[in-house]
Amino acid sequence: MRLSISRSRESIWIWLFWGIGIYLALELGPFLIAARVFNMAAGELAGPYLAFAVPWVILAPLIWWLRKGEEQGSSPRRLARGWGFGMALFGVAVVVAVFYSGVALRLVDRTDAVGGLIAAVLLSVPIFYFSMHHMALKRISSRAAEKLGGCSPK
């Protein structure tokens, strides 16, 4: 009998079910600690909890799609651009979740958060994109070279 998680490469729905379920379970611990530290009810932390769930909901299908593209033999440059775009989108979603949670938990003033959010997004997008593009291009190219029987570039 095979577990359905082992078939996650075949179906995006299995991938999303397992990936998002595990992510939300792992995310629950820090929010339970935050509830204790801030003496807040679970209802007050529901918004920030869901805000931190959104980045993975964005990235999980993108990872599955990019892995399928690699298996089908897409060009390394195209895959690296996809990884860079996905990481930039993930980074923006995380930055927005952090600032939203800061305002929702009354840790940051709303007017200060807007300026900080704009600056963080403008700085993080190129950093996330180009760093992930470089790393992905290097790894995808080395995997492609190994499949062809050559030695991997270092």
pLDDT per residue, tens digit, the chain (154 aa), is 455 555 556 678 887 888 888 888 888 888 888 888 888 887 888 888 889 888 988 888 888 888 888 888 888 899 999 999 999 999 999 999 999 999 988 888 998 899 999 999 999 999 999 999 999 999 888 887 787 775 555 5
Q: Against a cut of 0.85, is the pTM above it?
A: no
In a domain, 153, yes or no: no
For the chain, the domain total comes to 1
Q: What sign for the dihedral angle of Cα 106, 89, 54, 20?
A: negative
In a domain, 47, yes or no: yes
What is the domain extent for residue 78? 4-147
In a domain, 23, yes or no: yes
In a domain, 154, yes or no: no
Q: Where do runs of H (alpha helix) occur along 39-154? A: 42-71, 76-104, 110-147
In a domain, 72, yes or no: yes
Q: Are 88 and 121 in contact (CB under 8 A)?
A: no
